[in-house]
Structures are given as structure tokens and as C-alpha cells.
Amino acid sequence: MDNFITVTNQNNGIHFHVRLVKQGEKYGLERCLTHDKTDPLVEFYDARYVKGFEPLGQFVSRYYLSTLLERNNDYGLCLDGGVPNWYVDEEAMKQVYEWLDWISE
């Protein structure tokens, strides 16, 4: 069972699924890779595009949990500079941080 949350940008209504991948869990295209590090991965999926993509939507970006926790959490997160809609706004990122704090304990 995947550990994920769905957040919605207030400014444009776009839904993102955010998935936590812990050590030993599968990730990547068709879950063909096994995460072998102790630092969990945090994946972002555009939930608008489920058909033809991963079960959670179109994969957008992946970060180590420690990388996300090092940044100032008072701002949104640009997931891909080439796609303006692939941005998680400040309020949605606050939800992500709260969830990560709860789920990663």
C-alpha cells in the first residue's frame, strides 16, 4: 500500500498526489526500482493525468525527504520550471510538510 496524500493548489485547483517511498519500497516506472537508502524519497504526481500513467497520475518530480526539510517551508515548490502548472502552492506545501512530519516518524 502506498503512503500518499492528495493536495490541491488554491490558486488553480490542480491536485497533486505526494508519495513517500521508504527504504526497501519500490518506486520508478512500473515500480521496477527498490529504494536502498535510509533517507526516504518524496514523489509528486499530477493527479489530472491518471489514464496512461502511473496509478497516482503523471510522475512530475522526486526529492529526498532531507532535501525538502532543509528548505524554507513558507513557500510553494516549483516541480518543473518548464511546465508552469507543475507548482505546488504555499498552502498545499504546508499540508505536505504536516503530513511528512506525521508519516515519517
pLDDT in tens, 42-78: 999 999 998 878 789 999 999 999 999 998 878 999 9
Q: Span 13-29, mean pLDDT?
A: 94
Could you tell me if 3 and 19 are in contact, meaning their C-beta atoms sit under 8 angstroms apart?
A: yes
Predicted pLDDT of residue 73: 75
Domain boundaries, the chain: 3-103
Question: In the chain, how many H helices and how many E strands?
Answer: 2, 8
- Cβ proximity of 25 and 35 under 8 Å: yes
pTM over 0.85: yes
Q: What sign has the CA pseudo-torsion 22, 28, 33, 36?
A: negative
